Structure 1
Amino acid sequence: MLPDMKIFALNGTMALGRAITADLRVALAEHEERDFEGGEHKARPLVSVRGDDVFIVHTLNGSPEGSVNDKLCKLLFFAATCREHGASRITAVVPYLAYSRKDRQTKSRDPVTTRYVAQLFEAAGIDVVVTLDVHNLAAFQNAFRCATVHLDTRKIYSEVIANLSGSERLLILSPDAGGIKRAQLLREYYERVSGNEAQLAIMEKRRSGGVVTGHLFAGDVEGANVFIVDDMIGTGKTMLRAAEACRQRGANSVYALATHALFDRGCEAVLAHPAIDRTIVTDTASPFHISEDVLRNCVEVVGSAPLFAETIRRLHAGAPLATLSGDDQ
């Protein structure tokens, strides 16, 4: 007999949590969050979790409602509280996992923050971590000793590409060398499910002291519909740089696909730039803090709730997970 399932969504991720539970046809479990003078915080479940299979949905992007560090601390404390009160298993469903970009030392005495975050999750008693499109999959998997489930957007974005590509030649581009594997996997999955050919391209990007350089470009984009794929979009400068390079080389259209829409300061000018036909993102970092006009006219949002809902359903039932994102077996 399976233990009861309880799904919580912490403040700041309630909309996504409700969408996930609506897909599962269950209700969000009730909880309380209180902020105190001096900046301290308390959260607790308002229902019993003893012996239950507990899922905590909380995305870790910074926003006006809370910094990355605030959100991380609240997730850890709430997970530890559920462990304290007898949960049989705790799964953190973290659509956007903070600090995944700092996964190695690039300068003397650098931190490896991805590993430190993993240690915090484990110390709080979290048994399983579920996330979507981390920056570096190998670093993520090596950082955690607890079980991890890494989801990706191959299925989601293959449908988007099929709807937008038309009859012209199709090309998938990685805006830097670090994302080439992500672009390759998307290309392979799209070709397998659609039966259509897609080509691959890559642009060089080097960053030092906040300055981005590199102009090598591999791939023939002339006359093609180009889809630039990345794990996140912040200011959008990386996407725009790649889009302008594609336009200069004769691309027919250019679309930007980014899983996590962090939308940092200055991104609105990039989103509205004519070099990019449209930017497609998921809702892992929603609600978005950009103008409604830019959001409506320049951005398409694809829901991630069905993917997370199916992951939770299979985890709770002990069912296979491999086919969730695009693996055959």
Structure 2
Amino acid sequence: MGSSSRELKIFSGTAHPEFAKRICAELGVELSRAKHFRFSDGELGLSIEESVRGADVYVVQPTCNPVNEHLMQLFIMLDALKRASAYRINVVTPYFGYARQDRKTKARDPISAKLVANLMEHSGASRLITADLHAGQIQGFFDIPVDHLTGVPLLANYFKENFPSEIKRDEVVVVAPDVGGVVRARRFAVTLNADLAIVDKRRSHDVANLCEVMEIIGDVEGKVAILIDDIIDTAGTICNAAAALKERGAQKVYACATHGVLSGPAIERLEKADIDSVILADTIPLPENKKLDKITQLSIAPLFAEAIARVHSDRSVSSLFS
């Protein structure tokens, strides 16, 4: 792991303690002790149960559903660690909530992603380690270092290893479910040495999470199509794209994403959709009531563990961004 004169400590919120344990297992360290509780009026409480003075601290907390509670818990942890004289407080947020509110799309809209960045820094964060932000420019909302990892190699390598007969250039096409995901899809396609296609969709700005598939740019007829996105939330985008691909003659359709938010009707939609398999990273926990036979979850914890090891020992992390 490299050497550092500072003690490494890893704390977890309640959002995804299993992910924190996976990181600790990779690093060969124990999860540091913190007690989370709730007061009778619903307020969140916290007790840091070991000294952090002078330590290099990492707080693991994806800000997934319930987003606001997990954010508030994170801010409380950062404040407590700052007041306890931690040397450096690194926030490890595999999934960054509010990332889709990164700009004003109409008059009087908030830019909530910037607000979260401000609150995180003010609470005591020295650094953010995250993955596949919905909008990459969110890195610029922070005045602290941001290490922006990606799950694309993890997902692409899964297809290489598990679908070898199908991963041939003339048989597979990687598909961006919208124009905004072209860069991500291109990286995925390069990894698989595959062709690229794009779903040109028109999104309703009046109804949240509602979109209409319009056209497929690229050749998908008779091919195995792999849809790649950063987030699957209500699954409307992915399921509509899959239906459009099938209509245009795709032989099979797979879907993959770094973040499986899976809110609202997502599970019902995925269950009914003409999608052969859905591959997700484990940035967000997958509860029992959301597990389907067609959903596979891969662990991205080793990548985060490597990033933590490098940051802790003051080594470059740039090679992890590709």
Q: TM-score, normalization: structure 2? A: 0.93
What pairs up with 1:158-307 in 2 under 5 angstroms? 158-162=156-160, 163-164=162-163, 166-167=165-166, 168=168, 169-188=171-190, 190-191=191-192, 197-207=193-203, 208-210=205-207, 211-288=210-287, 290-292=289-291, 294=292, 297-307=293-303
CA distance, structure 2, for counterparts of residue 187 and residue 253 of structure 1? 16
Percent sequence identity over matched residues? 32
Check whether the contact 1:263–1:288 (CA below 8 A) recurs between aligned residues: no
Q: Which residue of 1 aligns with 2:48?
A: 45
Q: Which residue of 2 aligns with 1:194?
A: none
CA distance, structure 1, for counterparts of residue 217 and residue 55 of structure 2? 52
- Superposed CA offset, 1:34-73 (max 9, x none): 20011111113111000000000011111xxxx2111101
Q: TM-score, normalization: structure 1? A: 0.91
Check whether the contact 2:278–2:294 (CA below 8 A) recurs between aligned residues: yes
What pairs up with 1:81-120 in 2 under 5 angstroms? 81-120=80-119
CA distance, structure 2, for counterparts of residue 164 and residue 13 of structure 1? 30
SS in 1 for 2:320: coil
SS in 1 for 2:25: helix
| Paired amino acid for 1:245 | A
- Superposed CA offset, 1:80-121 (max 9, x none): 110111111000000110000000000110001111111001
CA distance, structure 2, for counterparts of residue 284 and residue 306 of structure 1? 12
| Paired amino acid for 1:56 | V
* CA deviation after TM superposition for structure 1 residue 142, in Å: 1.5
- Which segments of 5 or more consecutive residues in structure 2 lack a partner in the other structure? none
Check whether the contact 1:127–1:146 (CA below 8 A) recurs between aligned residues: yes
- Aligned positions, number: 312
Are residues 291 and 261 of structure 1, via their aligned partners in 2, closer, same or farther at CA, if it must alter by over 3 Å?
closer
CA distance, structure 1, for counterparts of residue 52 and residue 141 of structure 2? 28
* CA deviation after TM superposition for structure 1 residue 205, in Å: 2.1
- Superposed CA offset, 1:248-299 (max 9, x none): 111111100011111112122222235100100011110335344x2xx110
CA distance, structure 2, for counterparts of residue 214 and residue 60 of structure 1? 29
Say which is worse superposed, 212-221 or 77-86, in terms of deviation: 212-221
SS in 1 for 2:163: helix
Check whether the contact 1:271–1:299 (CA below 8 A) recurs between aligned residues: no
Are residues 274 and 74 of structure 1, via their aligned partners in 2, closer, same or farther at CA, if it must alter by over 3 Å?
closer
CA distance, structure 2, for counterparts of residue 12 and residue 122 of structure 1? 20
- Which segments of 5 or more consecutive residues in structure 1 lack a partner in the other structure? 192-196
Check whether the contact 1:154–1:325 (CA below 8 A) recurs between aligned residues: no
Q: Which residue of 2 aligns with 1:315?
A: 311
